[in-house]
Amino acid sequence: MRKLSYLLMMLLLALPVQRIQAGVGQAGGLFLQIAPDARSTAMGETGVAHARGAQVPAWNPGGMGFLENSGVSGTYFKWLPYLADDLYYLHFSYVHPVEGIGTFGVSLPYLSLGEQQRVNAAGDSQGTFKSSDMAVSLSYGALINDRLGVGSNLKIIRSALSDEDNGVGTSFALDVGVTARVMPRFTVAGVLQNLGTEIKYTDSNQGDPLSRNLKVGAALTALEDGSNSLLLAVDLNRMLLEDSGNILNVGLEYWYQDLIALRTGYVHDADGDVKTPTFGGGLQWNMYRIDFSYTTSSTLQDITKFTISARF
């Protein structure tokens, strides 16, 4: 049975996905690539193998079957604050395990792209409008056995580049993920994200391909005693686009008395010119937790994220 389970994991990771013949700048739904929570962001934007609670579906629905409690999570941060004050990101998520069936979830990521100036062909101002991207994700995950979990997300995506009908595009996408607890303290996982239809706006015969993505990762609890725990994580991330390369993410998390957490990590994306350390921490009290992260680089300047979560 164990051999069959690991064979299933390899087959899911080897699902036939064709690399899109388009560059990153031509892809749609890029907001789906934003790390949706402060904990994982502080750990170098890792999370495929170690995401917790209501954030599991966003990173890898294959881990949902391991959840034992219901949970809710909310994240807010200013997106690229050095460009404008009205760019911000919101993410809400809820998960609920049902004994003997699996775990169900729903989440909503939302990116405000701020207020834009509308001009006519002569360049005269015609007022303003607001742009935004959002999605609704329905999730399900279950255990194949006590070590292997599988899951998926079904996403409905809406991109509003303007407030006119021909400025709104929609799409549907699917994520498929697997998580294997190889040993009690060591987990490996993988997920294929955003397998779906093109986002189409003005021309129904042309559209922007979704930013398909492959992530694999591992997490190791290197230390665990009555007062201290140390988690090490690494992710390898690759967008399945013509001009994309590998992104390496590494991170660590230290907990003292399950009360105070300190986190750090590093993001190395040579093609995207993102090479930056990440920092953060968290406070936990009973079933409630608040996390924060800080990221700064030439392209991601002074982004501070806050996440509030609860399990029950």
pLDDT in tens, 272-297: 778 899 999 999 999 999 999 998 76
**What pLDDT, on the 0 to 100 scale, is given for residue 103?**
98
pLDDT band at 301 (very low <50, low <70, confident <90, very high): low
Mean pLDDT, residues 24-41: 84
Phi first, then psi: give them for residue 205, nearest 5 degrees.
Answer: -90, -5
Average pLDDT, the chain: 87
Q: Is the pLDDT of residue 3 over 60?
A: no
The pLDDT of residue 23 is: 45
Rounded to whole angstroms, the Cα distance separating 155 from 139 reads: 9
Kindly state the percentage of the chain with pLDDT values over 90. Answer: 65
pTM of the entire predicted model:
0.88
Judged against a pLDDT cut of 70, whether residue 305 lies above it is answered with yes
The SS3 assignment for 101 reads coil
311/204: higher pLDDT: 311
Report the candidate in 307, 285, 312, 255 with the shortest Cα–Cα distance to residue 58.
Answer: 307
Q: Which of 293, 301, 252 is nearest to 273 (CA)?
A: 301
Domain ranges of the chain: 2-17+34-118+125-311
The per-residue pLDDT for range 59-97, each reduced to its tens digit, is 999 999 999 999 999 999 998 777 778 899 999 999 999
Mean pLDDT of 107-124: 82
What are the backbone angles phi and psi of residue 23, rounded to the nearest 5°?
A: -85, 170
48 conformational bin, left if phi > 0, alpha if psi -120 to 50, beta if neither: alpha
Phi-psi region of 138 (alpha: psi -120 to 50; beta: other; left: phi over 0): beta
Q: What is the pLDDT of residue 302?
A: 79
Instruction: Tell me the fold of 2-17+34-118+125-311.
Output: Porin (2.40.160)
DSSP 129-174: EEEEEEEEEEEEEEESSSSEEEEEEEEEEEEESSSSGGGEEEEEEE
Average pLDDT over residues 201-210: 74
Please give the residue that has the higher pLDDT: either 110 or 119. Answer: 110
